[in-house]
Structure 1
């Protein structure tokens, strides 16, 4: 049975860069996304360059039953998922939580939390039985502190980080590695209307290729989490040196600087 790496949201940004990194290592890929035309383009490019099997599977993870359907598809087609990458996720327009559109909040909850939890549970259970496998859950440096004006996004990434750290400990004795990827500001479509207004000397914009390369290395080393760029890691540690209220106020100032930017 061919072993596959399943990546959600692999048509652009960090997800695509991760697909390339696994393809370089000769991994067969199963790509799950809403955008079938983009997935087919990625499939064609990766198959041609790296000579690996690539299977695109349409999947809208904002639907509550999508994770179970994706798992059932793999079981039905006898696809052994040796590596799971939960990359799909998005954020909302920067504004107070009480002013957010509730339908969009529910959609974010399904993609950023529910899908990550269910896919990690379903495929992690199989990996535990086989006593080997890898799970890479994409969180964010937003997971390390409260995020005024991006409250739900920050909370969702804190959930992903905490879930991954706990599962890392639970599964390590079964040969399964679980790693949380916590990138800082990365040069992707996450920022739809422009680059971050935070000065570059304070918070450097890094490439998705760098993030993916260091993430895959950390995954295979079975690290519990990885912040791929040192400057981003250092800033993420600030929350350890102040009260939670003080850190929340600092983050409010930072988020106000980029309040007009829509997070994807």
Structure 2
């Protein structure tokens, strides 16, 4: 897998680490980084693996590149430059884990919201200050944040400019875990280990069913289960479970 210098990509058999690499501008999300993320998504769609997203230089992403954002017009907004890539990340076949340190503001926060899991440090500052710049958080926060933390807190963040600390974000369950900065990547890999020990297709179909609209249930669950019932992995895993159980009971 290759990407531009704006995004460093480390491949492993069962996971990929995507490192935002614009530390000189606190990993501000510009078009180059968006294009690199699209390429990474294309590869992860073709060969699904767990993805860990992390920033360089002690910051996740301080937002969109304001220099570029200032020059965007109506056609750019309608093109969904940032919302498109964040939605694509959200729809990746296998889970995504955002590892947050320092600032995760504006577009950086929306990138984190698009991931399935978020782990942070005490230094995290996460929020959406877009109205202070005369715009709105239009790349997912305006609807995704309410699903994550509930309407009252989401409105404080989106309408009153509240920025959460790492501990506040954990208390709101916006962060799954808070660890020290030197433990951040290790914590991400521990979570990835817990995911990758599961049956990959079962995880993939569970994620799809989880995000399906309410009216698609229970049909989508039954169809997904029908697919899994026919797999060799289901048979092998259940056989191994029964053998372990029999051995334990016979001991």
Shorter-chain TM-score range: under 0.3
Instruction: With the length of structure 2 as denominator, give the TM-score of the two structures.
Output: 0.28
Q: Relative contact order (alpha carbons < 8 A, sep ≥ 6): 1 or 2 greater?
A: 1
Q: Which has the larger radius of gyration?
A: 2
Instruction: With the length of structure 1 as denominator, give the TM-score of the two structures.
Output: 0.27
